[in-house]
Amino acid sequence: MSDRTSAPPLRVFLVDDESPARERLKTLLDDIAPELATVVVGEARNGMEALQAVPTAAAQLVLLDIRMPGMDGLEVARHLASLDPAPAIVFVTAHDRHAVEAFELNALDYLLKPVRAERLVAALRKALAGAAPARDQLARAAHAPREYISVAERNRIVLIPVRDIVFLRAEQKYVTLRTRNAEHLIEEPLIALEREFADTFVRIHRNSLVSRAAIRGFERAAGSAEDDPRWLIVLDGIADRLPVSRRQWPVLRELVAERPA
Amino acid sequence: MASIRQNAYPDRLPDWRNLGVIARVLVAVNAMLAASALAAGRDFAEALERFMQGALVVEPLMLACIVSLCLLSGLLARLPYWIGCAAVLSLVLVLAGGAHALVMSSPLTTGAHAWHSLLLAAAATAALLAYFRLLAKAHSPALSEARLQALQARIRPHFLFNSLNAVLAFIRSDPKRAERALEDLAELFRSLMSEARQFVRLEEEITLLERYADLEQLRLGERLRISWELDAAPSDALVPPLLLQPLLENAVYHGVEPTMQTADVLVRIERLGDRVHAHIENPYVEAAQQRAGNRMALDNIRERLMLFFDAEARVETRVHAGRYSVDIELPYRTRMP
């Protein structure tokens, strides 16, 4: 109770596609003000709006619905996690058995709709006391691969559609993400990306993954021996040729051979 | 309420006016005829000849039986089951006797004995009655199971909790609206939890649709726009309960919730001649196709319509010009046999 006057109110952002649900949360936040002061710094009706607005709103905590049109709440949370500092997240769901199981398993905070005031206070306190959810914690709770990969820039989150990515290559500390017309540096480990997007990308080398759909063919590397050729991969829409490792070559040759002409 | 309550499923004669029943009779009798011809003939040519000869007598006789059974269907249905069976058998025997007499008087006759023809007709009739009884028996547990499934699959828990959440949101700002929503919710659940009924009047089903739509409207606001075309809906038609509500729920779940744009949903129910047509359409949202549950509701409705109307009901779905639609067609009936 002593912090009631001294501490600044908690900056909360609301994300839910149903407007009555957002209204209800606002009413509840008002109701709990004597116990925990909050200020609603923004609202969004879907994931995209949230990703645009949260970074500039400097929200400390996001109350995030799971099921929304377009991007679902879990993917939104994974992109928000790339912010620094990342906001705390409390998921809100009406009934989603799988999501709730995943939250329990990965120690993520959540509330069930209809939300009760006491539970809201408890969840907000708990989320504030702990750290913002880590990326891998959220990744484990997700049941589907993301549709976007995000890069946090100053006060905004840049989303790159996974289907636009031509290749991913690990450099020393970062992974270079290449689309037809841009290049980004991301901080996620290549191995995690390979696991999440196994259907979209294939490994061609210890340090790189390429989009299965972008493979055009192979070229023999200049100067490689006739009886022991080294191969380069030709990719759609970009001029770069990436080396294929000896180890991955049989996998790729088979992959291309199986493909309908 | 003009519904027919029935929890047990006593033996009942088939509905002789039902196309599915008639089709089964046609196929079964011809199959029996073919089998006997194949058994008696020394080779295929002889069997074919026997079949044709037999058909000359059997087909007109069978048609006469079907027509008489159709005409007497209402009367037969009111008799206790075993008396009804006896009545059907006597009817067939009388007609077969007549047919036999006619054949004997013609020059084509092969000189079969009267008792021979009558025995065959009686055996075929008994076999068919036994078959229909077994069929009905096989369907009865399916019927109660289908209902149970319907109960479980029908209302998504998501809908219940989100609706309650929406009601809570309105309690302080618009108490009247919240009250009405709770009444709607109560009525919806009363229908869902009511004891098993085979049929309800269409107007009851339409009221249910409207209650459900009001609740979704509360939650989704301007995102949901429903157009109702109900002027030609026959309010007295009997339909299986919860025939349309799951379809409207599907329309919202697959066509409205996954999109941010205003979604137009159309509900049209009309009577065309002796058929009732229901049409529900919604925007087709590609991304929503991975959402589970659509097939379950549709399969359930198909199954129930098949049980009640056999071949006389149809369920069709299609995707055209960015719209998904479900069409249901069933016979217009105000009384059930």
Two tokens at B117? 């023809």
- CATH code at position A223: 2.40.50.1020
| Closest residue to B165, CB basis, from A70, A96, A113 | A113
In this structure, are residues B218 and B181 in contact, taking their beta carbons and an 8 Å threshold? yes
Select from A98, A117, A141 the last residue of a domain.
A141
In chain B, the domains with their CATH numbers are: 19-138 (no CATH), 155-331 (3.30.565.10)
State whether A122 and A159 are in the same domain: no
> What's the number of CA atoms in the CB half-sphere (13 Å) around residue B58?
24
Residue B188 pLDDT greater than 90, yes or no = no
Work out the pLDDT band at B72, boundaries 50, 70, 90: confident
State whether A78 and A55 are in the same domain: yes
pLDDT at residue B108, rounded to an integer: 56
DSSP 8-state assignment for residue A116: P
- Look up the pTM and report it: 0.75
CA–CA distance, A178 with A176 (Å, rounded to integer): 6
State whether A200 and A88 are in the same domain: no
Using the Cβ of B161 and the Cβ atoms of chain A, whether some distance falls under 8 Å is answered with yes
pLDDT at residue A196, rounded to an integer: 94
Two tokens at B26? 């046609």
State whether A73 and A192 are in the same domain: no
CA–CA distance, A178 with A157 (Å, rounded to integer): 17
Contact B169 A67 (CB under 8 A): no
- CATH code at position A37: 3.40.50.2300
Contact A94 B169 (CB under 8 A): no
Residue B16 pLDDT greater than 90, yes or no = no
State whether A77 and A25 are in the same domain: yes
Strands A88-93, A148-153: pairing is unpaired
Two tokens at B187? 């009525």
At B209-223, the pLDDT tens digits run 999 999 999 999 999
State whether A124 and A154 are in the same domain: no
State whether A74 and A154 are in the same domain: no
Select from A141, A159, A176 the last residue of a domain.
A141
Chain B residues within an 8 Å CB radius of A117: none
A195: domain range?
148-258
State whether A89 and A200 are in the same domain: no
pLDDT at residue B152, rounded to an integer: 46
Contact B260 A45 (CB under 8 A): yes
CA closest to B261 among chain A residues: A69
Q: Name the domain count of chain A.
A: 2
State whether A229 and A115 are in the same domain: no
A62-71, A136-145, B4-13, B259-268: range with lowest mean pLDDT? B4-13
At B43-67, the pLDDT tens digits run 888 888 888 888 888 888 888 888 8
Chain B residues within an 8 Å CB radius of A94: 157-158, 161-162, 165
State whether A125 and A163 are in the same domain: no
B151: nearest Cα among B183, B98, B193: B193
Select from A141, A157, A191 the last residue of a domain.
A141
State whether A76 and A123 are in the same domain: yes
In this structure, are residues A48 and A71 in contact, taking their beta carbons and an 8 Å threshold? yes
Contact A20 B161 (CB under 8 A): no
Chain A residues within an 8 Å CB radius of B173: 23
CA closest to B169 among chain A residues: A24
ipTM of this complex prediction, to 2 decimal places: 0.80
State whether A53 and A117 are in the same domain: yes
- Angle at CA of residue A143, ends A59 and B282, nearest 5°: 85
